[in-house]
Amino acid sequence: MSTQDSTGHEEYYVPESSGMAISATIGLVLSIFGAANVLNDMTFGEPGAETNSWTIFIVGLFWFAATLFVWFRTTIRENRAGMNSAQLKKSYVLGMFWFIFSEVMFFFCFFGALFYVRVLVGPWLAGEGEGGTMNYLLWEGFDYSWPMMQTPQEAVGGAGAQLIANNGDFVSPHTSMAFGEVEHWWHWLPMWNTLLLLSSSVTVHIAHLGLLANNRSKFNIWLGISVLLALGFLYLQYMEYHEAYVLYGLTLDSGIYGSTFFMLTGFHGFHVAMGMTMLLIQWLRSIRGGHFTADDHFGFEASSWYWHFVDVVWVMLFLLVYIL
C-alpha cells in the first residue's frame, strides 16, 4: 500500500504473517526426502524391494509446486491491487538480479570443472607436466585427447584397472558430440539448437518492445513464438540425448567426457525448461488476464532476463563443449 504519511515519506509494505513459507518447506523437504530415498533404493537397496520413496517424492513435488503457484499468485495479486510501492518493486528487481548471479556461479562451477579436467588433469594422466608421474605409476598406456575416447581405466585394462579405487566401469563412446562430417553439416543438432535459442532471445526482446509500445498483440504473438522456439530446443535436445545413448554409446558412464557433457547440457536443459515455463506463465497472464502495462511488467521482465541468461550459458556451452 504505497500511501504517504504526513512527513511525505512512502511507507513500505510489510506483509502480514504468512503460511506460504512453512507450506513450501513441507513440500520441499518431503520431495527431497523422497528423492534421497529413491536414489538410495536404486544404488544401495535390495532389488525389487517395495518402498514408498517415489510416492513421497511425488507428493512432495506437487505440494511444493502448488505452494509456489499460490505464492506467486499472491504476489501478483498484491501488485495488481496496488499494494506494492516503487521501493518494494525495486526489492524484487534486486532479488531477481542477484538470484541470476547465483545461477551464473552454479554454472561457473561446472565450467570450472571442465576447464580443470581438460587443461590440467588430462595431460597429467597421460604423463605430461608436473603431475605426469601418475601415468607411469597408474595409467600406463593412456593417451589424452579431447573428447576423451578412451578412459584411463580402459587404457590400463583388465586386472590393473580393478586395483585402482573407482566407482564403476567407465566405457567410452565410439562417437563424440563434436562437429562431424562437413557434407552432413545439417545433421549437427547443436547448431540448430544454437539458432533456435539465439532467435528466441531476439523474439523475447521484440515482445518486450511491443509491450513498451502498448502493442498487446505484438507482445502476445512474439512471446508465444519464443515459447515455441524453447519447446523446439528441448525437443532437439531430447533427440540429441537419444542419439548419444543409442547411437554413439555416450552415456553418464562414459568417463569424464560423458560426465561433463551431460552435466553441463543437462543442467542447461533443465534451466531452459524452467525459463520456458516462466515465459509460458507470462504469456498466459497476458492472454487470459490482460496483465502487464508498458510501465509495470516486472514478471515478464524477470522471465526475459532469465531467458537471456539461459541463452548466454548456451553460447558458452556451444563454444566450450561442442566446438573447442
Partner 1 sequence: MGDHHHGPAKGLKRWIFATNHKDIGTMYLWFSFAMFILGGSFAMIIRAELFQPGMQLIRPEFFNQMTTMHGLIMVFGAIMPSFVGLANWMIPMMIGAPDMALPRMNNWSFWILPPAFLLLASTLFMEGGGPAFGWTFYAPLSTTYAPPSVTFFIFGVHILGLSSIMGSINIVATVWNLRAPGMTWMKMPLFVWTWFITAYLLIAVMPVLAGLVTMMLMDIHFGTSFFSAAGGGDPVLFQHIFWFFGHPEVYIIILPAFGVVSQIIPTFARKPLFGYDSMVYATASIAFLSFIVWAHHMYTVGMPVSGELFFMYATMLIAVPTGVKVFNWISTMWRGSMTFETPMLFSIGFVVLFTIGGFTGLMLSIAPSDFQYHDSYFVVAHFHYVMVAGAVFSMTAAVYYWLPKWCGRMYNETMGKTHFWISFVGFNLAFFPQHFVGLAGMPRRIPDYALQFTDFNMMSSVGAFIYGGSQILFLYNVIATIVAGQPISDEKVWEGAEGLEWTVPTPAPFHTFAVPPQVK
Task: Tell me which residues in 5-24 interact with partner 1 (CB under 8 A).
Answer: 5, 7, 9, 11-12, 14-22, 24
To the nearest whole angstrom, how small is the minimum distance from the Cβ of residue 177 to partner 1? 16
To the nearest whole angstrom, how small is the minimum distance from the Cβ of residue 26 to partner 1? 9
Residue 98 interacts with partner 1 (CB under 8 A)? yes
Say if residues 56 and 35 touch (Cβ distance below 8 Å).
no
Q: For residue 293, list its beta bridge partners.
A: 296
Residues 177-236 binding partner 1 (CB under 8 A) are none
| Candidates 41-49, 180-188, 272-280, 306-314; binding stretch for partner 1 (CB under 8 A) | 41-49
To the nearest whole angstrom, how small is the minimum distance from the Cβ of residue 235 to partner 1? 23
Q: Distance (Å, rounded) from C-alpha 183 to C-alpha 60?
A: 50
122's grid cell: 588430462
Q: Distance (Å, rounded) from C-alpha 189 to C-alpha 237?
A: 8
Instruction: Read off φ and ψ for residue 45, nearest 5 degrees.
Output: -80, 170
Nearer to partner 1, 113 or 273 (CB): 113
Quick one: which H or E segment has residue 86? helix 86-115
62, 65, 80, 94: which one contacts partner 1 (CB under 8 A)?
A: 94
Say if residues 153 and 169 touch (Cβ distance below 8 Å).
yes
60, 122, 127, 269: which one contacts partner 1 (CB under 8 A)?
A: 122
Residues 265-304 binding partner 1 (CB under 8 A) are none
Residues 126-155 binding partner 1 (CB under 8 A) are 129-131, 134, 138-139, 148, 151-153
Say if residues 86 and 309 touch (Cβ distance below 8 Å).
no
Residues 50-79 binding partner 1 (CB under 8 A) are 71
8's grid cell: 511525505
58, 59, 76, 117: which one contacts partner 1 (CB under 8 A)?
A: 117
To the nearest whole angstrom, how small is the minimum distance from the Cβ of residue 57 to partner 1? 11
Say if residue 32 is exposed, middle or buried (CB neighbours under 10 Å; 0-12, 13-18, 19+): middle
The footprint of partner 1 on this chain (CB under 8 A) covers a number of residues equal to 84
Q: Distance (Å, rounded) from C-alpha 220 to C-alpha 67?
A: 27
49, 81, 159, 165: which one contacts partner 1 (CB under 8 A)?
A: 165
